[in-house]
Chains A and B, each alone.
Chain A
Amino acid sequence: DQQVKQNSPSLSVQEGRISILNCDYTNSMFDYFLWYKKYPAEGPTFLISISSIKDKNEDGRFTVFLNKSAKHLSLHIVPSQPGDSAVYFCAARASYGQNFVFGPGTRLSVLP
């Protein structure tokens, strides 16, 4: 039973356009969410986080939106660059100090 779902295994976007990666969760107790990016043969690297008290957090080209009523969050990358091609993981935590639950990941390909 996956508590964090990323229903699109892959996504292709043209360079310069917007990339939108989606994540859905089932546990209403999740209160902190993160996005990680992973290149082949490397460990995941932290991108951006959002707390449940917010509905948007922005960092440069990356923006995360949280819709608590729909139990849905999304990561927007604008503009997309070829170097953004990687696997993106969404992660959520139930309460302060608990472990993060990760989604299965979405492979983003940004085409030049």
Chain B
Amino acid sequence: SQQGEEDPQALSIQEGENATMNCSYKTSINNLQWYRQNSGRGLVHLILIRSNEREKHSGRLRVTLDTSKKSSSLLITASRAADTASYFCATRRGNTPLVFGKGTRLSVIA
């Protein structure tokens, strides 16, 4: 079953703009992760935020987590054409497998 649901399903922005993607989930979690996928093939891990953390940064990425609302957001600042990809949130509870959402397709136009 899909735990995370990303919003929006698709996003198109100009290079240099910021991109914000949201993820909502249903049950309690240990951590939430964001992955990027290019061209429908392998996923690349971007960032992990634990349930006791509220915000985390990595380069141009900023992730927030609100466990009371069961939601997370991924912000990509100063976007580049190379950021064009699908972005997935994935949640983990205990030792259960990662559960992925359907993803947000981001297009960054040069």
- Is chain B a partner of chain A in the same complex? no
